[in-house]
Amino acid sequence: MAIPCPHFNPVTSEKPAMEVLSPSPVVLTQDELKRIAAYKAVEMVESGMVVGLGTGSTAKHAVDRIAELLHKGKLKKIIGIPTSTKTHKQALSLGIPLSDLDSHPVLDIAIDGADEIDPNLNLVKGRGGSLLREKMVEGVCKKFVVIVDESKLVKYIGGSGLAMPVEIVPFCWKFTAKRLQELFEHAGCVAKLRTSASSNGMENGGYVAKLSTFACSNGMENGGLPFVTDNGNYVVDLYFTRDIGDLKAASDAILRLAGVVEHGMFLDMATTVIVAGDRGVTIKNKIINNADELISISNSIAIEAKRKDGQYVTVATALSKGRTWLS
């Protein structure tokens, strides 16, 4: 099934490791690009599947599309597992049957957006505040499909200069924020407690936060109110000016800090990344046969891949009607 957008050529039912559709003759908005990527991802959903429903502006398009196909009878017996109270409300309003991880501990597929994607398909997620539930749901999926526009592509995690979120418990949050900042001094880290613009605070799940003032040099503006997650926790946003280095080591170091609940680095989790941009739609799949992993793709006739022994190899490709796939 082709993407329902007249600006892109239709795609066959083949499932290549990489696919590039022809460039659009018109300039699309960022939201239109998000919708195109989301609709392409939903083509992977089949009747009878248990589907993780992501959170955010891009994932919203996917949830809308799933509901549309259910109402048209093109999808049947879908069960959705939402990753936030916001997505739960959206899916309920659209008539998507819902459940949870207690009843469905393994999911067929999850579709969600991302805030950053590096060349190794590692992600930053959670700038919307739902990182814990997103990681719980998307960590038990057979397929995790990430949908983004090309503005989310970065050279390294933290490379956008925007936030890498860490969910923490409210107790002594200033102490935890300071330790997080010190942990990444080598990367020029600044830790900021996320605040809500609401004068009444941020209320999720019946939990309302009140503020203890934090020095501006450490992030939060005086008199602000903290953002509160669906789980009643706070979020500290980490901002980097340099590469943080070994991501696995960084992940382990963050999680070892008492007071940390979870962080927004989703490492080695995405199985497919769909990127919509001015040149068209690109699909990047992780190669899992023999533990080989696709790490970079371009429009050229060569695709660089990383083998399980750490060596880099060039994988042969073929070109036909604007599409590229692994041979």
| DSSP result, 236-258 | EEEE-SS----HHHHHHHHHHST
Query: In this structure, which amino acid lies at residue 175?
Result: F
The CA distance from 180 to 189, in Å, is 9
Q: What angle do CA 148, 153, 156 make, to 5 degrees?
A: 135
Assign residue 112 a region (left: φ > 0; alpha: ψ between -120 and 50; beta: otherwise).
Answer: beta
Q: What angle do CA 97, 87, 50 make, to 5 degrees?
A: 40
Q: State which H helix or E strand residue 71 sits in.
A: helix 57-72
**Residue 167 bears catalytic tag:** no
What is the 8-class DSSP label of residue 221?
A: P
User: Within its chain, how far is the Cα of 42 from the centroid?
Assistant: 15
| Three-state DSSP class for residue 161 | coil
Assigned token pair, 248: 């696995």
Residue ranges of alpha helices (H) inside 121-224 are 131-138, 173-183
Residue 68's contacts (CB-CB under 8 Å, 6 or more residues apart) are: none
| DSSP result, 124-151 | E--TTS-HHHHHHHHTTEEEEEEEEEGG
Sheet with strand 293-296: strands edge to edge = 293-296, 302-306, 312-320, 323-326
Catalytic residue chosen out of the listed positions 14, 43, 116, 134: 134
Q: Among residues 158, 176, 179, which one has the least CA distance to residue 167?
A: 176
The CA distance from 47 to 59, in Å, is 19
Q: Which sequence positions are flagged as catalytic?
A: 134
